[in-house]
Structure 1
């Protein structure tokens, strides 16, 4: 199964799920970076934390001056017949206008709410931001950002928008339809069942309350829905056996030791007998890039 192509290696990507991916630049230790004002307005989160978030990226003008400069560039470009979004994409995709792309404020939204301001860890990763700028966006488009959540942006950074800054190491985009098509066909349920099952699981994770991808719980869920196809295959299989997905829980694992290890437990309840089966995966969330420890297996309450 092919996964989404990382944008720090290519300008375009499509949906899918693969194994863990190594970063392209050196990582920071979030506990070693001093900042007396970090985390303002977010008392439930540590000053610095890793982020693995699902949402949408939107460019914004940080100041009236940049907006006027963009308007002048548009006036010199051939944009006849283009929509406003296509015009934005056309202008910023022109290499001569790269300076404008560097000046823009790139806002990450979750459930339509402004959540983070993105900055690349490497200046070359401006290409990843440009590749997220779709000329014809659709509701099923999803952007994934993996990085380090830092301090609140100063008022002059993004036209008064004061949000946590995320320095990203990896960023890629896909649409939900492409992700569903990439899921292997379940063995006990018909192929037609895989799509609705995958869509339901993905939407449930996307709509988890407060899922900004900044806690171990949310990072684990977001990692699974874009990287682990077995979760979708199991759900489709259970739907084929007339069972419902009744719960998805994330718990600290007693096997973690010195590392942050969590267990994601999925409960499936038969619609006729009311008998519940549970399956779980174990993930290591210690570092910026989560990874799988235990594959999807039956779970028995302790």
Structure 2
């Protein structure tokens, strides 16, 4: 299948250095824990050694459980504090882009779960809250995001077509690079990339396009109180389809499903 050769979409990732606190973030990247001090790093190494875990088995260490004395039904995680004090970094296009902090204990568990799949890409939905040092021995700071929701990209369902084949076997994913996901257009672009196959399959379980040659993105200003972006997809047979993605609030969504595009006068 053809991939786009004329994509007018969000540019490759850049560091977000001048963004205001509270700004919404919707980004895609890999997540890796590290330790801000040598002392904490040594504590982690000792913990891993004590349970015969390899140094890169973060999940095994952070999730390790023991039973309380005389209370066989009560377990606790003695090394959970290491995950709580770790620095969680989201890397986009091989660039360290954000320090992540969990919004709730549930999101801390979600961060810990990512260490079971360190090579997978994750969709991170959150809010910018400031800046932090990814490591006390580093000489640069990264934007800090409070994580509201994490999704493993591999867990985003790919629709099965009417012929029984998954959509990704019939249509190539456009070659769009993830962005920092701070601007409205970048958040819309990341949502489009992560939910592409759900967008291009119609209610009859058929692909709406056979290929994607180009993508054009523009602001949809028909709703002035909303942040909506229109994605126009062109295929090799010169057909064009468009959909709208609304990024006004924390969670982006498709506000207008993909349909044949007719330019208004």
TM-score (normalised: structure 1): 0.69
Deviates more, 1:258-267 or 1:228-237: 228-237
- Map of 2:78 onto structure 1: 96
2:168, 2:197 within 8 Å by CA — same for their partners in 1? Answer: no
1:143, 1:172 within 8 Å by CA — same for their partners in 2? Answer: yes
- Residues 103 and 161 of structure 1: CA distance in aligned 2, closer, same or farther (over 3 Å): farther
Q: Alpha-carbon deviation of 1:216?
A: 1.3
- Map of 1:280 onto structure 2: 242
- Residues 144 and 252 of structure 1: CA distance in aligned 2, closer, same or farther (over 3 Å): same
Q: Return the match for 1:125 from 107, 113, 117.
A: 107
- Map of 1:7 onto structure 2: none
CA distance in 2, matches of 1:50, 1:299: 29
TM-score (normalised: structure 2): 0.77
Q: Return the match for 1:295 from 257, 262, 265.
A: 257
How many residues align structurally?
235
1:61, 1:158 within 8 Å by CA — same for their partners in 2? Answer: no
- Map of 1:24 onto structure 2: none
- Map of 2:73 onto structure 1: none
Q: Return the match for 1:255 from 204, 218, 222.
A: 222
Where 2:212 maps in the other structure, the secondary structure is: strand
Q: Alpha-carbon deviation of 1:212?
A: 1.4
Where 1:200 maps in the other structure, the secondary structure is: coil
Superposition pairs of residues 48-127 of structure 1, within 5 angstroms: 48-79=22-53, 83-85=54-56, 87-94=57-64, 95-127=77-109
Say whether residues 1:173 and 2:157 are aligned partners. no
Could you give the per-residue CA deviations for residues 40-98 of structure 1, whole angstroms, max 9, x where no partner exists? 9634x55542111111100011110100111121222133xxx543x322111111110
- Map of 1:214 onto structure 2: 182
CA distance in 1, matches of 2:137, 2:252: 30
More helix by share: 1
CA distance in 1, matches of 2:16, 2:31: 22
CA distance in 2, matches of 1:238, 1:199: 11
Q: Alpha-carbon deviation of 1:252?
A: 0.9
Where 1:238 maps in the other structure, the secondary structure is: coil
Q: Alpha-carbon deviation of 1:217?
A: 1.4
- Residues 155 and 230 of structure 1: CA distance in aligned 2, closer, same or farther (over 3 Å): closer
Could you give the per-residue CA deviations for residues 215-248 of structure 1, whole angstroms, max 9, x where no partner exists? 2112112223434644343695532xxxx41211
CA distance in 1, matches of 2:170, 2:23: 32
Deviates more, 1:107-116 or 1:230-239: 230-239
1:60, 1:105 within 8 Å by CA — same for their partners in 2? Answer: yes
CA distance in 2, matches of 1:155, 1:107: 7
- Map of 1:14 onto structure 2: none
CA distance in 2, matches of 1:254, 1:169: 28
1:283, 1:294 within 8 Å by CA — same for their partners in 2? Answer: yes
- Give the RMSD, CA atoms, in angstroms: 2.7
